[in-house]
Chains A and B, each alone.
Chain A
Amino acid sequence: QKEVEQDPGPLSVPEGAIVSLNCTYSNSAFQYFMWYRQYSRKGPELLMYTYSSGNKEDGRFTAQVDKSSKYISLFIRDSQPSDSATYLCAISWNFNKFYFGSGTKLNVKP
Chain B
Amino acid sequence: GAVVSQHPSRVICKSGTSVKIECRSLDFQATTMFWYRQFPKQSLMLMATSNEGSKATYEQGVEKDKFLINHASLTLSTLTVTSAHPEDSSFYICSAGSTQGNEQFFGPGTRLTVL
Contact = CB atoms under 8 A, between A and B. Distances in A.
Q: Do A and B bind each other?
A: yes
The size class of the interface chain B forms with chain A is 20 to 34
A41 B103 contact: no
At the interface, is chain A mostly helix, strand, loop or mixed? loop
Interface string B45-58: 01001000000000
A96 B32 contact: yes
B41 A8 contact: yes
Nearest to A45: B106
B102 interface: yes
B113 interface: no
B43 interface: yes
B104 A95 contact: yes
Nearest to B59: A97
A14 interface: no
B44 A42 contact: no
Nearest to B102: A95
B33 to A, nearest CB: 12
B91 to A, nearest CB: 8
A44 interface: yes
Interface string A91-110: 00011111011110100000
Contacts of A43: 4, 6, 93, 95, 106-109
A87 to B, nearest CB: 11
Nearest to B91: A41
Contacts of A46: 1, 103-106
Nearest to A6: B43
For the complex of A and B, 9 pairs with smallest distance between CB atoms: A43-B106, A102-B43, A100-B43, A43-B108, A43-B109, A100-B44, A44-B106, A43-B93, A43-B107
Given A43-B106, A88-B43, A95-B103, 9 more contacts: A41-B91, A41-B109, A43-B4, A44-B44, A44-B106, A96-B49, A96-B101, A102-B42, A103-B41
Interface of B: 1, 4, 6, 32, 34, 41-44, 46, 49, 91, 93, 95, 97, 101-109, 111
27 contacts: A8-B41, A36-B106, A41-B91, A41-B109, A42-B109, A43-B4, A43-B95, A43-B108, A43-B109, A44-B44, A45-B106, A46-B104, A88-B44, A95-B97, A95-B101, A96-B49, A96-B97, A97-B46, A98-B34, A98-B46, A98-B104, A100-B43, A100-B44, A102-B42, A103-B41, A103-B43, A105-B41
